[in-house]
Amino acid sequence: MDFLNAIIALSNFVLIPAIAYGSQLALGALGVTLIYGILRFSNFAHGDTMAFGTMVAILVTWWLQGLGVNLGVLPTALLALPAGIAGAALLVLATDRAVYRFYRAQRVKPVLLVIVSMGVMFIYNGLTRFVIGPDDQRFADGERFIISPRTFRELTGLDEGLALRTTQGITVVTAVIVVALLFWFLNRTRTGKSMRAYSDNEDLALLSGINPERVVLVTWLIVAALATVAGVLYGLDKSFKPFTYFQLLLPIFAAAIVGGLGSPLGAIAGGFVIAFSEVMVTYAWKKVITYIVPESLAPDGLVQLLSTDYKFAVSFVILVIVLLFRPTGLFKGKAV
């Protein structure tokens, strides 16, 4: 039995990937929950907003690399991130002015806005594929590992080497900074407090002199920033493919609903619940179990509940369970 090697293997294949993936889902779910809490509809175009912002960041990254500009050990995409946010912001603001504003003025039921956002989703997806193509794009440069397995084995003498990729470290650090800035903005600034008041009671907020157009504008800007940061971090950690971001809509919505739609804190918690559930259910536990049980009891099979091809099914099952038994989510957001 070798518990230290088991812990390292568990960290390599479950803990570290789930923390990084959970950070990406949490940022995506924050955008969804802000739209639902403030603009009062489920934005099905959010995944493709992530894809568009990431696409702009990739194109600018390639341009910077062509000029010989880089960040050394860090990915050049971090320099291109503001451009990606600006591109996504222009897209969502143009969409709001051309599409959503009309339906908002008519005070239509939220379900109609959901249907409209599905149409917007297909337009975004087609636009992204047309510009950058449907294939995988890898744009992570710089140093690959913060800690490489070989270096870790040489330092510790253990059989199992700990691998911490640069993109995983950047994901966690960036997510912490972005979330801290968002909560500071919502709780400490006048505009943030106006957004919270508008979310709690729209009519009372209007009577208090809050400008609804300003609230909508700032909300879309924040959502564009969150979507682009989440998309770029996911693309750096895995790879960029437009259809993958369309698929990410399910775990992102599941994270928002599990935590409680309209609750920023719930979106963060829901992101990690979904991430750890997906990773743990689809991981082959044979290596970890082999380290901690006697050799005679070591399993022959992979000890894997589901193939990684079915990881989104985990999000779907959790989503259904939450909708059936606790529709307000873990942090009692708005009922779905």
pTM exceeding 0.85: yes
Q: What is the pLDDT of residues 251-297, one digit of tens each?
A: 999 999 999 888 899 999 999 999 999 999 999 999 999 989 888 88
Annotate 10-41 with DSSP letters as a single string. HIIIIIHHHHHHHHHHHHHHHHHHHIIIII-S
Which of the four pLDDT bands, split at 50, 70 and 90, describes residue 1?
low
**Residues contacting residue 299 through CB under 8 Å, at least 6 positions apart:** 286, 289, 290
Q: What is the pLDDT of residues 145-199, one digit of tens each?
A: 999 999 999 998 888 999 999 999 999 999 999 999 999 999 999 999 999 988 8
Q: What is the pLDDT of residues 297-333, one digit of tens each?
A: 888 888 888 888 888 899 999 999 998 888 888 887 6
160 vs 262: CA distance, rounded Å: 42
Q: What's the rounded mean pLDDT across residues 209-234?
A: 95
For residue 147, the surrounding DSSP H or E stretch is strand 145-147
Cα 210–Cα 216–Cα 217 angle in degrees, nearest 5: 105
> Which phi and psi (to 5°) does residue 164 adopt?
-125, 105
143 vs 165: CA distance, rounded Å: 9
* Tokens matching residue 324: 């059936």
